Amino acid sequence: MIPDAMQLDWSLFAVALGGALVTWLTRIGGPWLITRVRLGPAASAALEATPGAVLVALVAPSALSRPSDALAAAFVCLIARRVPMVVAVAGGVAMVVLLRWLL
C-alpha cells in the first residue's frame, strides 16, 4: 500500500504542532532562564542527564526482550562511537538478523 503523498492526518498534525511549540519553548527558554534563574549544579546535572535517560528508557524494554536483540544492542554500543551512524545502524540490523537466526 502506497499512501497518497498529500494525505494529511489531522491528529498527527496536532502532535506536530504541539511538539513544535514545546520544542520552540525549550529553544528560547535557555537565554530567558539564564538571566532570571540561577540553576544549581544539581538541577543542571538533572537537566543534562534527561535526554540520555529518555533514550535508555525507550530502548531498554525492547532491547532486553530477547537475547539476540540484547547482544545486537551491545554490538551497536561498541561500534557507535567509532563508525558513522548509518554504518552502525546497518551493522546492528545485520547483526540482529544473524543472531535471531542463530539463537
Partner 1 sequence: MTSRASARQDFALGALHSLPVVAGAVPFGFLLGSLAAKAGLSPLDMGLMSALVFAGSAQFVAVDLLGKGTAGLAVVGAILLVNLRHLLMGATLEPRFRGVSKARAGLALFFMTDEQWALALRRGQELTLAYWYGVALTLYLAWLASSVAGTMAGALIADPAAWGLDFTFIAVFLCLLAGFWRGAGSLPPWIASAAAALGVHALSPGGPWHILAGAVAGGAAAAWQSRLGRDGVGEGGAS
Of 57-96, binders to partner 1 (CB under 8 A) are 57-64, 69, 72-73, 76-77, 80-81, 84-86, 88-89, 92-94, 96
- Distance, in Å, from the CA atom of 51 to the CA atom of 23, rounded to the nearest integer, reads 13
Footprint on residues 4-63 left by partner 1 (CB under 8 A): 4-9, 11-20, 22-24, 26-31, 33-35, 39, 41-63
Q: Is 102 one of the binding residues for partner 1 (CB under 8 A)? A: no
The number of angstroms, rounded, from the C-alpha of 33 to the middle of its chain's C-alpha atoms is 25
Least distance in Å: CB of 21 to partner 1?
A: 8
Residue carrying the nine cell digits 498529500: 6
By the 10 Å C-beta count (0-12 exposed, 13-18 middle, 19+ buried), 84 is classed as: exposed
